Amino acid sequence: MQDKELFDKVVTHIGEFIEADTSHLTPDSRLATSIQGLNSLKMFELILYLEDCFGMSFGEDVMDKIDTMDDLVGYIRERMTAGVQPA
């Protein structure tokens, strides 16, 4: 999957999750401030949702590693490459 394709897919899944338009998101968008209403509980549940969407398990340290959309897409890319399966 190309980076742009993966980015678009993540944006789409975030939009599904928060039930809002997320087309404004760019790779530099900070997750904590660029998605309206994304408080900590929603963020934790978004991680679970993305795990299901991509059929993988994120690490316990995921929240420390993703600040921007680019970080999130890169994190997912890294897990895909490593072949991390669901726990």
For position 12 contacting other proteins by CB under 8 A, the verdict is: no
Binding of other proteins at residue 18 (CB under 8 A)? yes
What 45-48 contacts at long range (C-beta under 8 Å, 24+ apart), as own/partner pairs, is 45/17, 46/14, 46/17, 46/18
Among 2, 5, 19, 82, contact with other proteins (rule: CB under 8 A): 19
Contacting residue, 1, 12, 30, 44, with other proteins by CB under 8 A: 44
Reduce the DSSP state of residue 30 to 3 states and report it: strand
3-state secondary structure of 38: coil
Q: Kindly tell me which of 46 and 72 has the beta carbon lying closer to other proteins.
A: 46
